[in-house]
Structure 1
């Protein structure tokens, strides 16, 4: 067994373990789900077909396998390849990871198994922020509320997912949410929408969140962006072996050897103001199969807000009235995706100051009735032939 592990580590040293995408070019493609996971393969594919995808890179599933075969350590070549991946993002975005002046590069870290699985690590947004880069972000955007809102969200997500600051037995609410509620009642004598909190409020919450992390973990929240990134990648790999993921794999006969990939992507921001927003949608209605763009969006929100239920999203059709140009772009993307993937797609998108970005696409789940209608309609539209249907 030990011999096998050693030989495995040798092959991984010289192997390509980081696949980048961005600016119309990608190392991988949609057929590489076993190596890049479903999310990473589709991000590469969307980039290749010219869709507006923020640049990033995928750490392959082989690194996950190596991690468990070698006492939770990484192949020697990983750090240098990740640095090259970050440099590629910096070049495309014109920003610097961990910058203390100018616009800093912030990243989103997401897990990526071949198929989406419950129990896998949730998304971490705004990674790369610290006490210095948050000031740079504030100056670069001239938007203090936005900068501190991003930092507050990052500490909350990272604290929960990577550092394990979660509700204990006997606690009814997530500890970070409790801190927010207490602060709102203290300052505003009751509940106010998160979007009503000022820059000063967010700054105060950052302080309180850091104190909570220290109290619960005994450790100071990490200030070094590279330490943050390594921690997030480790959390993705660790989530592959958590109880929920293991139970799910057993039930559906998914081999543990498959492993998960890690996707690191340059942040785009749906929370910079009224010309920005985030949404999720199906290219057709997944309940009844009707050929209509079907989903939800929120103005001035990051992606997690849409599904978190903190604010009530609007139907995506209403985007046409609020952001007509972005909506028109989205309709073009919808057409391109269906033509290319020859199936109904389930997508995530962000609009930053009127510019559309695609964050994910996958084949959409659907009811049986919808599946029949999709197939019949797509044959009619000459997207697929009868054999495929």
Structure 2
């Protein structure tokens, strides 16, 4: 099962100078000629470049997949319960034991906890079982030729040629996700070039077939994205009946002492990092699950930009490290899709930027909900309710 792309792709837009300066479109064969010239200009031999492109074909299925990207519409509790199955828990714990020496090296070299990578490994490819069957070279060249995001995909093609030149990529046989991610933790060619690690010592970085390579590379990539060694990322908490709910969300980080003074307490055990700033995360409002997110939580958004996915992956990482099942609480009911669209229209009419009227509780809609809750004197926890809808 595939999940949203890394932030590199999700953040892409069709505007800006990068797009204007990046060749795209035209005949596919002519486009490949241009790519070959770029690769040769970067130092590759004609034989290497011709060898890479010998089997490359346009892939209409990759284009179709790009245009039907899904967006998470489930609330956090429902989504987490669907993804975090007993099977994934059991496999995660078994793999933690099987690859303990690899995880020990990752913690030593990159400071990343086993639970973090185990969760990504589980969600991205079910521990390597489902890695995608799109021909990677075909997909990357096709998406680079397409004029939606050529400035993102063209460098990935050139990176794939680099991998091919050193014997770590077969353009005829390498397969993965529709947007070019490869291997057990789904990394793009450029990320593999920059962060690939030969974890098993065979002289190659093989993210598709070697768990040590994939895990070590994922750990290095997280470090590259800003992961802070040895620090926690998420901790479940209990919140008081009353507090300034407008301080909750991903924008406000406060010392734990301030959250504690407001009545926020760890649900179990002690504070994991009393000296670190933290954000209060209420994915379903003040009556639902509650967490504090430490600075490392922000790194998840560099890997993926879906709030629900990020929170679920972060929470699953804590579960794999021994945290209890979260308390779902008793949140106000989720608005229906039609109600969410109605709410978004009302918010837009009040001048809020909620993006597309699509019935999805994205970051823009959450921010607008919180602002209107505060204006109306309602608990400003960013969770849309029928009460808010009526008052608007």
Bigger share in strand: 1
* TM-score by shorter chain over 0.5: no
TM-score by length of 1: 0.25
TM-score, length-scaled by structure 2: 0.24
Between structure 1 and structure 2, the one with the greater Rg is 2
